[in-house]
Amino acid sequence: MSNKPSETREIQGRCLCGAVTIVAKTASKKVGACHCKMCRRWSGGPLFAVDCGVEARIEGEDKISVFDSSEWADRGFCSRCGTHLFYRLKQTGQLMIPAGLLDDDAHLEFEHQVFIDEKPGYYSFANETHNMTGAEVFALYGAD
């Protein structure tokens, strides 16, 4: 993860039932929204997520089910309550967790949107953000 120390902090979050807790040492303070069809189907709307890098500790791993959602990422959820826990890049192990899981979200800033070209017309956000198409995201992360 390329965030500078001043742009990151340790965060903690948990699922709805509390069976799974995630503690990330270098989580970004920036929230991104993904509008791809897969994220919208998974979460029921855009996925608001925080990049937690690769230094995360997960407690309650025996309560996590993982779905192999694409060639380049998988998604984890609590097998007890169904809470969406993470989106993980297979190549690097980089973890994105839904912003709604965090115990303290006061420090977060909605900063970017990805797959903006797949965003449906029935919603839009007033925030000024950096917007990237799906092709731009794949070019940035080297995926096909």
Query: Do 29 and 109 contact (CB within 8 A), yes or no?
Result: yes
For 94-122, the pLDDT digits (tens) are 999 999 999 999 999 999 999 999 999 99
| In the chain, domain spans | 5-139
Cβ proximity of 22 and 103 under 8 Å: no
Residue 100: left if φ>0, alpha if ψ -120 to 50, beta else—which one?
alpha
> Dihedrals φ, ψ of 63, to 5°?
-100, 10
First to last CA, the chain: 20
Q: Taking a C-beta distance cutoff of 8 angstroms, is the pair 20, 51 a contact? A: no
pLDDT for the residue numbered 22:
97
**Bridge partners of residue 87, in order along the sequence:** 75, 96
pLDDT for 138 equals 84
Cα 99 to chain centroid, rounded: 7
**What's the topology of domain 5-139?**
glutathione-dependent formaldehyde- activating enzyme (gfa) (3.90.1590)
Query: Tokens 């909605």 appear where?
Result: 110
What does the pLDDT look like over 11-58, one tens digit per residue?
999 999 999 999 999 999 999 999 999 999 999 999 999 999 998 999
pTM as predicted: 0.87
